[in-house]
Amino acid sequence: MTEPGPGTGQAHAAAEEAARAAPELSQAELDRLSQAELDRPSQADQDRLVSPLAGADERVIEGALRPKRLSDFIGQGRVREQLSLVLTGALRRGKPPDHVLLSGPPGLGKTTIAMIIAAELGAPLRITSGPAIERSGDLAAVLSTLGEGEVVFIDEIHRVARPAEEMLYLAMEDFRVDVIVGKGPGATAIPLEIAPFTLVAATTRAGLLPAPLRDRFGFTAHLDFYEAAELEIIVRRSAALLGVALRDDGAEEIAGRSRGTPRIANRLLRRVRDFAEVRCDGVVTREVAARWSAGSAAGRSGCPPSRSRWGRRRRRWRWWPSRSWSGRA
């Protein structure tokens, strides 16, 4: 760990003052907030049993089920192999690895991989999210307190505010940030040297990232949906950790209903476990999973009959020409 320099107190004070400064939102920022409201999932989507989004209580359970090492991670073979080369090379050189960008649908293990990277490097992990970084001062306050070699994980990086995003460019390349203190002609820029770090970013919408930001990541990976055989292994591993009596046909049935997402597989396993313990003998089999599914909202494919958010949005904004405009009476 690096010793704090004489300018650390001034750097922290400048970062806190920049974070407290709350300028009026411009029209571009207002448009960005409006887009964030549209992207935010509805409460009905969050409550769906097969939703890939994690609830507050579910994150605690996921923490116990997550693998701690890259060798224990199941699936995503190509990503796992390439990431192993990057981390091994960085450890041999004694320097932080390149910045990592992970993209893909929710529930596939992006946060888990970020935690594995920190564990493999033996470095502390700082976790934040894009919506939490509203101003450049918020980002400067996080980066100015980093130690050498630490790992910073930013989830949903495509929702980072534009001023903070531009500050991130300089921090990723030169490990330096410029904090603007004050407004108008009296504003001054204070350069802050930060310790070398590794940024691990995750996004579910890689197309929303600007090209300058994507180009600054040395390693990019896209996570695909899992095969049924891989989900069976995940379900068996989770059942062993949770102490669930699970048969092979029960694991196969749950994996087939999980829509290629480990988060949904673990969620279905817990629900079927409850059904087996209350209504059956406590053993999860194919018949027990099928009986539970017959009485739940999840169908054979694991998807309840509901309209998609995209379909609702299209119907909301669809424009129909009036009869008077078309010239008909």
Which positions are annotated as active-site residues?
110-111, 155, 204, 263
Tell me how many helices (H) and strands (E) the chain has: 14, 9
Q: Please name the residue that has the structure tokens 């596939």.
A: 108
How far is Cα 175 from Cα 157, in angstroms, rounded to an integer? 19
125 and 111 Cβ atoms separated by less than 8 Å: no
Q: How far is it, in rounded angstroms, from Cα 289 to Cα 253?
A: 7
Residues in the chain, overall count = 329
CA distance 204 to 47: 19
Q: Which residues pair with 154 in a beta bridge?
A: 128, 201
Look-up of token digits 């059904």: 275
Nearest Cα neighbor of 234 from 208, 209, 269 is: 269
N- to C-terminal Cα separation, the chain:
79
CB atoms within 10 A of CB 5: 10
CA distance 193 to 196: 9
How many whole angstroms separate alpha carbon 226 and alpha carbon 248? 18
